[in-house]
Amino acid sequence: MLTNEEIIQAKAECYQAGIFDVLDLSPKQEQALQNLRNSLVKELLFGGAASGGKSFVGCEWILWNCIAFPGTKWFVGRKHLSQIRESTVHTFRKVCEKHQIPKAWYHYNDTVVKFTFANGSEFKGLELMQKPGDKDFDSLGSTEFTGGWIEEAAHVPFRAYEVLKSRIGRWRNDEFGIPAKLFITCNPSRNWLYSLFYKPSISGTLPPERLFIRALVSDNTHVESGYRAQLETLTGELRQRLLLGNWDYVDDPLALIEYDAIQDLYENNYLRPNPDRKRMVCDIALHGSDLFRIGIFYGNVLVEHVAMEKSGGKEVVNLIKTLQVKHQIRATHILYDADGAGGFVGQRGGFIPGAIPFHGGGAPIKSDTRLKNVLESTKYQNLKAQCGYSLAEAINAGQYWAKGLTETEREVLSEELSEIKRGSDLGDGKLTLKKKEDIRTDIGRSPDFSDLFLMHRYFELLENAKPQGRERPIHTVNF
């Protein structure tokens, strides 16, 4: 009769040979391991409903890699390190107990969240929350891993995914013939996972180096029956996402901009930049915002976007002037949010005389009642609300194109546009927007990028408000 250690060794040899039925997994989990061991697929997304066996197969993959390939290095990354301590480590211990791995074979250090195996292999937890001082995840720049796993990736920034791809395949891969692999698990989410994996897999355009495997609770042969029954009681969006694994289900009655319209925003190249309608919109970062942003619009096409760390007044004005000269934009076609900036950018005595301050809390722009299909100012709490609802209508109608943005910029803008929502009813019947402080709480930053688009609607509203035959004076507004 084989000893426990001989059984473990036999399983490790089977794993090396690509034989996974000895591990007692579901067919979907075996499918995941098969693709994690081949040389074609480099990134595997295993995503779908809750309790589809995602975390368990991730721990199985890491465990057998550590045992079968001595001295290799692996990671699991989540938004918060505490989530790894409280969840992933617990699941990994369950997998070790399932296969009766002797505790003497590994040591766990909770301070650094790392398992170290007696054969030299390592399994380390990484925190993937984007921090103000490390927005490019430079802290991961010197790390070298054989392979790794991003768990609950719906909460992980795209930039972290990009950086981690460059950190795998760098530790004893050639020695053991191990392809560099990034394993990703998540529940359905409308972010970079949807655009990079799910949507292309449905349309048949997913690159061969990427693979999406849909995992449902019905695929998991080891799920507790009581938990499955609990999932059956869910309703609405939670039922669609967590029980049915539906990636396309959106049920937020407060959202003003449709998800598909946000995705189309980056592909609406049937729109043409209009050089006769050049506008510059500036969101000044002086007092607490993470970034100072400028958007250059030719008509409804964003042709250039510049972002830089919050700066002093001189740097802000110099950048505005540089872009003004580059695009030959009149001062009265420059709009900036006035919070803390009105004293030096525009207005009397400012460095860019004629530039327009935006005060979102000011009164809405009154419409010319002789024009058709013009928004009525009396509907809105303030100018910001008027611009927000106008922007939503325009984007939903495919009237904007955000040209040439990077994937990271798209992710940021998409998240912020999805936060443009109907606000609380104040009892006066006027339309409101979700408060900026509530958005900041939900996404961890100020929605500076989407504010460029929202503020840009000011020009459209102002133009529509001009009575025929005479010019309307410049309108000053508050943000």
Which tens digits make up the pLDDT trace of 420-450? 999 988 788 899 999 988 887 677 678 999 9
- Helix/strand number for the chain, H first, E second: 17, 14
Query: How many Cβ atoms sit within 10 Å of the Cβ of residue 451?
Result: 26
331, 317 Cβ separation under 8 angstroms: no
CA atoms lying within 13 Å on the CB side of residue 60: 24
What is the structure's pLDDT at 441?
A: 65
Model confidence, pTM: 0.68
332, 280 Cβ separation under 8 angstroms: no
Q: Which of 315, 347, 354 is nearest to 333 (CA)?
A: 354
Name the burial class of residue 458, with classes exposed (0-12), middle (13-18) and buried (19+) by CB atoms within 10 angstroms of its CB: buried
Q: Which of 62, 256, 242, 73 is nearest to 154 (CA)?
A: 242
* Rounded alpha-carbon distances, angstroms, from residue 196 to 114, 187, 189, 249: 30, 15, 12, 17
What is the structure's pLDDT at 412?
A: 87
What is the structure's pLDDT at 421?
A: 94
What is the 8-class DSSP label of residue 433? Answer: B
What are φ and ψ of residue 422, in 5° steps? Answer: -65, 135
What is the structure's pLDDT at 471?
A: 43
- Which residue type, as a one-letter code, is found at position 130? Q
What is the structure's pLDDT at 401?
A: 98
Which H helix or E strand runs over 409? helix 407-417
Beta bridge partners of 305: 295
What is the 8-class DSSP label of residue 203? Answer: H
Beta bridge partners of 307: 293
Rounded Cα distance between 330 and 278, Å, is: 8
Name the burial class of residue 244, with classes exposed (0-12), middle (13-18) and buried (19+) by CB atoms within 10 angstroms of its CB: middle
Rounded Cα distance between 111 and 12, Å, is: 29
pLDDT in tens, 311-369: 667 888 889 999 999 999 999 999 998 864 444 565 554 578 889 999 999 999 986 54
Rounded Cα distance between 449 and 70, Å, is: 47
What is the structure's pLDDT at 314?
A: 80
What is the structure's pLDDT at 477?
A: 44
What is the structure's pLDDT at 252?
A: 73
What is the structure's pLDDT at 74?
A: 98
* Stretches in the chain below the pLDDT threshold 70: 225, 227-228, 236-237, 250-251, 285-290, 310-312, 339-350, 367-378, 441, 444, 466-479
